[in-house]
Amino acid sequence: MIDENELMLQVQNGQLESLALLFENNKVRLFNFFRRMGNSPEISEDLVQETFMRVLSYRSTFNGSASFRTWLYGIARNTSVDHYRKYKQSLDHEEFDDTTPDDKSSLCEQMVEQQSHSLFNKALASIPIELREILVLSRYSQLKYEEIALMVNCNLNTLKSRMTLAVSKLKESYNRLNGEELT
């Protein structure tokens, strides 16, 4: 089991090769985070690269008080926010399609499941970015509320309210899209 905190402290002490292990361990996860935030595959790769560049530049600021994963997502989130501010991306961005057929289920079941996944992803892409990011960080990056609250710079109760609002917006969007798909 790789101790990512230990690896990051090694990078901090000048053993830059340890960054390669951290990269291999987290690149897919980060890439998917940026994809779920509505970025194209190319932009998502740029953002992963930018994130690791910042990890290298800011390595002296890692103190091990939070997990490396939390620290990394904090940097990733800021990278995403900076990119969004710079390019003011519209909400009509590339749909994230992570559907892959499951060999065990029937063709009909696969189609139903794929349609459901696709609708969830479309619905996620259409809600405001500040609500989308907390859903993505919680549901897909599996970060805890405390960690997300620290990243988005709000208190825990505010985050919980935002989470409830995000779910509500997601459901509205899903129902609207589902209604459109059915007609």
Within 10 Å of residue 170's Cβ, how many Cβ atoms?
19
| 45 touches other proteins (CB under 8 A) | yes
Residue number, 6 or 144, with CB nearest to other proteins: 144
53 φψ region: left (φ > 0), alpha (ψ -120 to 50), beta (else): alpha
Could you tell me which stretch among 1-9, 65-73, 94-102, 125-133 binds other proteins (CB under 8 A)? 94-102
Closest approach of Cβ 138 to other proteins, in Å?
5
From CA 114, how far away is CA 61, in angstroms rounded?
42
15-23, long-range: CB within 8 Å, 24+ apart, which pairs? Answer: 16/56, 19/52, 19/55, 19/56, 22/55, 22/68, 22/72, 23/52
Phi, psi for 3 (deg, rounded to 5): -95, 100
**Which of 109, 171, 176, 181: binder of other proteins (CB under 8 A)?**
171
| 98 touches other proteins (CB under 8 A) | yes
From CA 55, how far away is CA 70, in angstroms rounded?
12
| 174 touches other proteins (CB under 8 A) | yes
Closest approach of Cβ 12 to other proteins, in Å?
13
Within 10 Å of residue 112's Cβ, how many Cβ atoms?
12
Structure tokens at 173: 């969007």
Closest approach of Cβ 5 to other proteins, in Å?
20
Closest approach of Cβ 90 to other proteins, in Å?
21
Q: Pick out residues in 111-150 that bind other proteins (CB under 8 A).
A: 113, 116-117, 120, 138-139, 142, 144-145
Binding site for other proteins (CB under 8 A): 14, 16-17, 19-20, 23, 27-29, 31-32, 35, 41, 44-45, 48-49, 52-54, 56-57, 78, 82, 85, 96-100, 102, 113, 116-117, 120, 138-139, 142, 144-145, 160, 163-164, 167-168, 170-171, 174
